Structures are given as structure tokens and as C-alpha cells.
Amino acid sequence: MTYCVAMRLNSGLVFLSDSRTNAGVDHVGTFRKMSVFENPGDRVMVLLTAGNLSISQSVRQTIAEHLSPDGTSIWTASSMYEAAQIVGDAIRMVHKRDAKSLEQFGIDFNVSMIFGGQIRGERCRLFQMYSAGNFIESHDENPYFQIGESKYGKPIIDRVVSPATPLDEAAKCALISMDSTLRSNISVGFPLDLLLYDKDSLSIKRFVTIDEKNQYFQMIHSIWGKQLKSVFEGIADPVWNAAPEATTNVLSSISNQNQPVRVQPPPSLTRVDDAVAPLQTLAQQSGQQQQH
């Protein structure tokens, strides 16, 4: 398994990927999931991959070498949309060649990708690619994509990231997202590749490979855990069966009793005292105490 995330922001792009492909008691495979297609001054494109490793590596190589019928390649595409079409065509080519053979061995054609970057003369763009070779593009309403083991790292991104988020702040959010995933899923692991692309720079200037000893990532891991615990402890516990006039932290009220859906036990297991003296509600008990 893996976890990759990419963000398209007003100020540029953020890409983050882990490098674990297999996890088990006695075997862990490490392969980097980020590939960069860069021709400084003309284009920068980044590909993140998840799914079957042999398929994703075949697709990556096909992308680098493939020429369309009119002679266009990833290196000469006039727009990021056209480049994304080339990536989709490469996925279909590998599917046509390998899918049936893989199926005979019970292996699904499983690959997903995030592809983004900038070609001179147009804006930064970001796409999510599917196994069928089709894709969708990121817009302001959805400025990020995730592939792989995405559920653990999604909440923090949803709460923090918008198109106006600065690159460094978005990178911090991506790393927190990755830390949450690393903590909850053994199939995601170090090292991590982090790339920040500044809009219109048309070259890679900020890239780092992060291992478990990285000082900044260790700080995030420690501080984020402590801050989460502090915030959690600062939230009041719920008040149960509160008086009608109560207005603070009320989870349930004595004036509005709820009951679960109960499955009745067999008659042979019903206690005699339960049948003779049915349970009283808290409201009834309170009324009797006031009468006395």
C-alpha cells in the first residue's frame, strides 16, 4: 500500500509520497513513488503512483518513451491537459499488453496516479488518473488529490487547505496528514519524498527525502500529538440526564428521554423481579422523591 497527496494552490504545487510497497512481519519493500519530468525553463511535471508496482513502473517508462501518432510526447505536449492525455494513453497501452496475463494469475490491473505540473505559457494544473486511463482535474472547490491509503490523512487537509494556503503551510499540512497515516497504517512507511513547486519557476528548487530521523518531521510528530491531546482534554465531558434548565454541554436531557431498540430475551430467561417491577424512568423516580 502507499499514501500520496498533491495540492494545487494559488502559489504553486505540493507533492508528498511515501515509499512502502509491502508490509508484513518479515518483509517490507521500499520503492519511491514520485517521478519528476523536468526540462528547466520549459516544463516541470510530477507523477505520483499507487497500486501494483510492476504496472506503475511500466506506465512510467511508457510515458517517458511514448510518442503519439502525431509525434507528440510528454516532453513536447503543448499543455498539461495534453500531457495528462499522454499519461492516460500510457495506462491503456500497458493495460492492453498486460491485463489479460495478470488476470490469469488472479491479479487485478490496479493502478492510480496523480499527475501535475506546469508547462510554460499556462497555469499550474493537477490531475488524478484512474486505471482506465481517464482522469479528473483539480479546481478551487477541490484543491487536492490523494491516492492509496487516504482516509487517515484526509480530515486535516479538509479543515486547513484552500487555494489561498501558502506553499510552506500546505507542506506542513501534508506532513501532518502523512504522520496521521503512518501512525494508523503499517502499510505506509519511510522514506518520504516532498516536493514544493513555486508557480512560474519552471524548475525544481525545493525537494527533500525525509527519513524517520528528519528533525522537522520528528518535531511535527511530537508537537501534533501533544496538541491534539491538549485540545481533546480541553473539551468538556458530556452531561447526561441534565435538568431541563441546563444549557451547557448537554448530551441528554431528563425531559427528553430516548430509548434504544431492544431485542427481548426469551421468556425462560426473563427475571421475575423484572416482570413484576418494570424499570422506572428517571423522571418517575424524581417525581416520587419530591412527593416524599
**Domain residue extents for the chain:** 3-231
**Cell 495478470 found at:** 102
DSSP assigned state of 24: -
Write down the pLDDT at residue 244. 86
Pairwise CA distance, residues 58 & 90, whole Å: 9
Q: What is the pLDDT of residue 277?
A: 45
The pLDDT value recorded for residue 195 is 98
Contact in structure between 253 and 244 (CB atoms under 8 Å): yes
Q: Decide: 100 and 27 in contact? Cβ < 8 Å.
A: no
Helix residue ranges, H only, the chain = 53-65, 80-104, 154-160, 167-184, 215-234, 272-276, 282-291
Q: How far apart are CA 208 and CA 139, in angstroms?
A: 27
User: In the prediction, which pLDDT does 274 show?
Assistant: 53
User: Taking the complete model, does pTM exceed 0.85, yes or no?
Assistant: yes
Question: One-letter amino acid identity for 260?
Answer: P
How many whole angstroms separate alpha carbon 183 and alpha carbon 189?
Answer: 9
What local confidence, expressed as pLDDT, does residue 276 receive?
A: 45
Torsion of CA 21, 6, 16, 189, to 10 degrees: -30
Cβ atoms of residues 86 and 74 within 8 Å: yes
Instruction: Give the end-to-end CA distance of the chain in Å, rounded to a whole number.
Output: 66
Query: Cell 458530556 sits at which residue?
Result: 238
The pLDDT value given to residue 34: 98
What is the mean pLDDT of each successive set of 10 residues along the chain, which is 292 residues long?
A: 95 96 66 96 98 95 92 97 97 97 95 98 98 97 96 96 98 98 91 98 98 97 95 96 92 90 90 54 52 51
DSSP code per residue over 182-220: HHH-TTS-S-EEEEEEETT--S--EEEEE-TT-HHHHHH
CATH class of 3-231: alpha beta
**Phi-psi region at 118: left, alpha or beta (left = phi > 0; alpha = psi -120 to 50):** beta
